[in-house]
Amino acid sequence: MKKIVILISGRGSNMEALITARAAGALPVTIAAVISNRPDAAGLATATAAGIAVRCLDHKAFAERGAFDAALAECIDGFAPDLVVLAGFMRILGDGFVRHYAGRLMNIHPSLLPAFPGLQTHRRALAEGVRIHGCTVHFVTPTLDHGPIIIQAAVPVVDGDDEATLAARALLQEHRIYPQAVRWFAEGRLRLEHGRVRLAGELADGAVLVAPALR
């Protein structure tokens, strides 16, 4: 069974979704550890309650990013994971760190990449007047919020939406697609080919999302 390590900085709701999927038998992985860069991250208590090993490396204790990255990699490698999962990990990781985990470092971003990389994605989506928003799971590359896309989920932007309502709608989909992406990895169904992800096996036909809905 594949082993994963999850990195968090806060509550870790996507971490919770992975733990829930694992407990339900829907995610064939061992969650070897949860690591945070913040000692006050609420997700550490959640992981501990689930019987998962936790570690904390406070980034403020390191004089520069390279030293933190090196210590973090050493901590991760101590668990020998097959995959490292970023679940609300709010630190930009250096090129050397990313290359060390090339093809086995996964992230989820709250937009339909390549649209709206970076922060405040829901605010920016509303400001641009897009009709469809969503979330993306991708393999991490040295370019921020860029890398081969594994799976995306789209949600409609509804008249009257604010940041909170749009974020909540997208977050529900994050909790669906992240366990799916990790499961595909664990089952050996993901293949990187010329900078794109190829998925082995049959896929069900999905419904088309049209927003606003046609009447």
Residue 189 has what DSSP assignment?
Answer: -
Both tokens of 148, joined, read: 């081969």
83 is in an annotated binding site: no
6 is in an annotated binding site: no
Residue 92 has what DSSP assignment?
Answer: P
What is the Cα–Cα distance from 146 to 143, expressed in whole angstroms? 5
Strand pairing category for 83-86 and 105-109 = parallel
111 is in an annotated binding site: no
Both tokens of 111, joined, read: 């937009």
Handedness of CA 106, 109, 112, 118 (dihedral sign): negative
65 is in an annotated binding site: yes
Q: Name the strand (E) or helix (H) holding 119.
A: none
- Catalytic residue numbers? 109
- Cis before 117 (ω within 30): no
Q: Three-state DSSP class for 131?
A: coil
90 is in an annotated binding site: yes
Nearest one of 1, 16, 26, 4 to 174, comparing CA atoms:
16
92 is in an annotated binding site: yes
15 is in an annotated binding site: no
Both tokens of 19, joined, read: 């733990």
Indicate the annotated binding residues: 12-14, 65, 90-93, 107
Specify binding-site residues for (6R)-10-formyltetrahydrofolate. 65, 90-93, 107
